[in-house]
Amino acid sequence: MKKLLSIMLLISLLFNSCNINKKENSIEKWKSEILITEQEFTEMAQKEGISKALLTFAAEDVVVMRNNSLIIGKESLRESFENEISESGNYSLTWKPDFVDVASSGDLGYTYGKYISTTTDSIGNSKVVEGVFHTVWKRQPDGTWKFVWD
């Protein structure tokens, strides 16, 4: 009986060890997916404009805090761009995550890092603002990652 119990315990430990390694591999895969998405996001912002990039990578239920108020929903975000950022080349925004983590369930993740915002006026004077960003990402039904908080 003791021998059978010992064998069952060993099998259980091996099985759990395999599950832990599989879970760790999944988490690393999801982190990589989020970092790739962040990279695609920043590249689109540079090439096609910030508003297009934000709207492309935002989830339908996105919440964005700007100027101490909330913009709730993708349609509200779209409307806010009509009054906000000029895409005339006088404004640029770059960022890079310093950290990424993801829930063990694989449905939510977050990044944070530094950003640089540059505005150039009509006579060529530039104003540079540096800060820290925090983005929450949610896996969509199609498997892609969209941000739900920025």
Q: Looking at the predicted structure, is the pLDDT value of residue 2 above 80?
A: no
**Beta bridge mates, 26:** none
- pTM of the prediction? 0.79
End-to-end Cα distance, the chain: 58
Q: Quick check: 128 and 118 in contact, CB under 8 A? A: yes
The mean pLDDT of the chain is 87
Q: How many whole angstroms separate alpha carbon 56 and alpha carbon 28?
A: 24
List the domains of the chain with CATH numbers. 2-149 (3.10.450.50)
pLDDT in tens, 18-77: 455 556 789 999 999 999 999 999 999 999 999 999 999 999 999 999 889 999 999 999
Helix (H, G, I), strand (E, B) or coil at 128: strand
